[in-house]
Amino acid sequence: MSRLGTLGARLYRGEVGYDFVGKRKIWYGISILITITAIVGLAVRGLNMGIEFSGGAVFTTPKTSVSATQARTTAEETSGHTAVVQKLGDRTLRVQVSDLTPEQSRKTQEALAKKLNVPLDKVNTDIVGPSWGDQIADKAWTGLAAFMVLVVIYLAIAFEWRMALAALIALVHDLTITVGVYALVGFEVTPGTVIGLLTILGYSLYDTVVVFDGLKEGSKDLTKQARFTYSEMANRSLNGTLVRSINTTVVALLPVAGLLFIGGGFLGAGMLNDISLALFVGLAAGAYSSIFIATPLVADLKERDPQMKALAKRVRARRAADAAKAEAGEAPEDATDADDAEDAAAGVVGQRSQTASRNRGRGGATGKRR
């Protein structure tokens, strides 16, 4: 077995682990800081909406030796608006200008044809009205709202309302960060961006549900034992799925990183940037929120339940009693067979320390009783 596989097995059995839930205030602080930065970027810079949402014109030129910079300058001087120029694979150019009237579009087409020294009809022009973009935006918001409602209803039925609320907060967290990064970077928002956002929401939810499922199984009959609080059981469940979450995130990020950094950056295929950036940032934020936000939030909400408060009190009392017995040289309470049965009923996993009382009445290597 590989080292990563061995580590995953030890995490699952509870032999090793990191206290994610116990240090949740640190993760909350980091998330709040990132979210505030995203909101400030969104408020100050705003989103660079594509023509699908703002309206405008797209001009596609024939093969030309004119550079993208020259075409951009011509389009901006003629239209009075910012132009986005992309080089296509067959040495053609795609010139996109937002907020153009039909008259401005005609003048820009004529200026580009003159600059390229080609007939007017060789410069293909597609005009997109702002009303069409508004329809797309409205449908996107409607789809997003329906998705959120269905997610909350499903999780509340399959798990409980606290997990549904925590998952919803994690999804909003991921959306805010992704949109904020778009504002800070200045990438254009297109229908591909919307597709990317909806995709990463599903991925983030998948990781969160995996952890919640383990937590649901591990917390069955949790109040019948006195070894672990709900927060501690939540942390054990989180550690048990940690390697799986890391593996799936890395595997998902590699092809997306190829699209973003190699396809969009190195090779200059700018049309890949809109969806690849949303996927890359969203996948990373989704993995973070599943580990550091969703599960700690569930633990925070659950610990306010009277039964869990009583459980936490019993756990503290038992540990205090065990510490007192240890100082007196007596065997701690959790070394009895009755506790093993209690832990098994509560779904607690992990290796237990073996004490001398376990071997009382047993023989040596032959196993015969003395």
What are the tens digits of pLDDT across the range 209-254?
888 888 888 788 888 888 888 988 888 888 888 878 888 888 888 8
Dihedral of alpha carbons 54, 59, 60, 63, sign: negative
The confidence band for 263, taking pLDDT boundaries of 50, 70 and 90, is low
Residue 32's pLDDT band, with cuts at 50, 70 and 90, is: very high
Its sign, for the CA torsion 361, 363, 364, 366, is negative
**Between 283 and 138, whose confidence is greater?**
283
Q: How confident is the model at residue 6 (pLDDT cuts 50, 70, 90)?
A: low
Q: Does the pLDDT at position 368 exceed 70?
A: no
CATH number of 3-49+132-302: 1.20.1640.10
Instruction: Please give the sequence-ordered ranges of beta strands (E in DSSP) within 88-200, or none if there are none.
Output: 93-98, 124-128, 188-189
Amino acid 226 reads: A
What is the model's pLDDT at position 268?
55
Least confident of 127-141, 182-196, 295-309: 127-141
pLDDT of residue 5: 56
**Is residue 140 predicted with pLDDT exceeding 60?**
yes
Q: Which secondary structure element, helix H or strand E, spans residue 306, and what is its range?
A: helix 306-327
* Averaged confidence pLDDT in the chain: 78
**Rounded distance between C-alpha atoms, residue 182 and residue 197, angstroms:** 11
Q: Read off the pLDDT of each residue in 12-39 and give the average, rounded to a whole number.
A: 84
Average pLDDT, integer, range 4-17: 59
Strands 93-98 and 56-60, bridge-based pairing: antiparallel
**Res 369: pLDDT:** 41
Q: Mean pLDDT throughout 96-122?
A: 85
Question: Is 338's pLDDT higher than 50?
Answer: no
With contact defined as beta carbons under 8 Å apart, do 302 and 230 qualify? yes
From the list 195, 174, 180, the residue with the least C-alpha distance to 290 is 174
Q: What is the mean pLDDT of residues 16-36?
A: 88
Q: Which pair of structure tokens corresponds to residue 325?
A: 């017995």
165 has pLDDT over 80: yes
What is the side-by-side order of every strand in the sheet holding 124-128? Answer: 83-87, 93-98, 56-60, 124-128
Q: Which residues contact 303 (CB under 8 A, 6 or more apart)?
A: 229, 230, 231, 309, 312
User: Can you tell me the mean pLDDT for 149-162?
Assistant: 90
| pLDDT value at residue 331 | 63
Long-range contacts of range 159-163, CB-CB < 8 Å, 24 or more positions apart?
159/212, 159/216, 162/298, 162/301, 162/302, 163/212, 163/215, 163/298
Contact (CB, 8 A) for 229 and 311: yes
Lowest mean per-residue pLDDT among 167-171, 178-182, 335-339: 335-339
As given in the structure block, the two tokens for residue 239 are: 């550690």
pLDDT digits (tens, 9 = 90+) for 44-70: 888 877 777 777 888 888 888 888 888
Q: What is the pLDDT of residue 364?
A: 42
Closest to 155 in 3D by CA, of 198, 208, 200, 197: 208
Residue pair 350/14 in contact (Cβ under 8 Å)? The answer is yes
Query: Which residues lie below 8 Å from residue 291, measured CB to CB, with a gap of 6+?
Result: 20, 207, 211, 238, 242, 245
Q: What architecture is the 56-128 domain classified under in CATH? A: 2-Layer Sandwich (3.30)
| Helix or strand run (H / E) with residue 48 | strand 48-49
* pLDDT at res. 300: 92
Distance CA 225, CA 63 (A): 75
What are the structure tokens assigned to 291, written together?
């580990």
Query: Which stretch of DSSP H or E encloses residue 56?
Result: strand 56-60
Model confidence band, residue 14 (pLDDT cutoffs 50, 70, 90): low
Angle CA(57)–CA(60)–CA(61) in degrees, nearest 5?
A: 135
The reported pLDDT for the residue numbered 247 is: 82
Question: Using the 8-state DSSP alphabet, how is residue 187 labeled?
Answer: P
Residue ranges of the chain that CATH labels 1.20.1640.10: 3-49+132-302
Q: Cα–Cα distance between 289 and 298 in angstroms, integer?
A: 12
Q: Please compute the mean of the pLDDT values over residues 301-310 and round it to a whole number.
A: 90
CA dihedral 221, 226, 231, 237 (to 10 degrees): -60
Percentage of residues of the chain with pLDDT beyond 90: 11
pLDDT for position 16: 62
What pLDDT shows up at residue 31? Answer: 92
The β-bridge relationship of strands 124-128 and 48-49 is: unpaired
* From-to residues of CATH 3.30.70.3400 in the chain: 56-128
Lowest mean pLDDT among 43-57, 141-155, 189-203, 254-268: 254-268
pLDDT at 116: 85
Partners of 48 in the beta sheet?
Answer: 188
Q: Cα(first)–Cα(last) distance of the chain, in Å?
A: 40
The Cα–Cα gap between 237 and 24 comes to: 15
For residue 56, list its beta bridge partners. Answer: 98, 128
